Amino acid sequence: MYDVNVRFLEIEDYIKRQGLQSRDSEATSCSVFNANACLKPIDAVKFNFHLVILCTKGKCDIAVGHHNFSIASHTLSIIPPHTVASIRNFSKDFEALFLLFMPNFVKKGFVKSEIMEELLFINPDYPPIFDLEAGNFSDTLYKFKKIREEMENQSPFCLEVSRLYVLQILYDYNRVCEICLLNSDKLINRQYQVMYEFRKLVDKNFHRYKTVKEYADLLFLSSKYVSECVKNQTGVSALTLIQNRIILEAELLLKYSQLSIKSISDTLGFASASAFSRFFKGIKGISPVYYQDKQEN
């Protein structure tokens, strides 16, 4: 039986102890956890497994790559492996089910490899979250619980049955993706197009450009118009999106790399370590040295 109150920061190490990352241990390559408001916030991490979150109650904020969004009850979200992700601001009533599985777990079934690649692909241009209608939510919740039951009981053919449930969840997710994209008017919305191009540029150039004007120049638009488009489409300012992307990368480097503060400031395109420190403290309220020390303790 898995610990239902496992801290989020410990999930990766916890899964390692369960053998999820062992190529030779297929029986532990898929797990379902209960999650609640006791989870500690995580600032930046990269998993080597897929994390599917079915929120059943409450809400929390998630950043996946350059996407920032909130999950709430009756939503399904996927965090793909090797993607910078943050999860924080859990409401007191937050409850969810976390499905974790290695990519190869679903590729070992009877479905063709190219089909699995398509199912596992998460479009980086759209936030990986979708609302589920009541019927779809109940059906998805049932599948999550059945996977947990199969893996915990280790019944005959539990791997095959669990794999089929995971495949169904992935197919359902992709179906919702297609429906949302087909029904979306954002594809023909000029402001959305500007915001979309802006975010792509930020994700590619955040280590070089730090101002809205620099990105507006790349788009051959005015800073004012770009700011209006981003604000109207996302609810936050263009400058905030730039700063959030820099901070996300900074947190990842401070937490997991062995780089010095000076090296990190150079990597992120700051003129000096002191300039980086001022920027980081202005956003996070603590110095990068203190943040780094806090991760080690």
User: Position 145: which residue type?
Assistant: K
The model's pLDDT over 175-191, given as tens digits with 9 standing for 90+, comes to 666 555 545 555 446 78
pTM of the predicted protein model: 0.60
Q: Into which CATH architecture does domain 188-296 fall? A: Orthogonal Bundle (1.10)
The model's pLDDT over 52-97, given as tens digits with 9 standing for 90+, comes to 999 999 999 988 877 888 889 999 888 888 778 888 889 999 999 9
Percent over 70 (pLDDT), the chain? 77
The CATH homologous superfamily of the domain defined by 8-183: Regulatory protein AraC (2.60.120.280)
When pLDDT is cut at 50, 70 and 90, the band that residue 5 belongs to is: very low
Q: Which residue has the higher pLDDT, 92 or 7?
A: 92
Looking at the chain, the domain(s) classified CATH 2.60.120.280 span: 8-183
Looking at the chain, the domain(s) classified CATH 1.10.10.60 span: 188-296
Lowest pLDDT segment from 174-183, 210-219, 285-294:
174-183
The model's pLDDT over 140-166, given as tens digits with 9 standing for 90+, comes to 999 999 998 888 888 788 888 888 888
Tokens 């806090």 appear where? 294
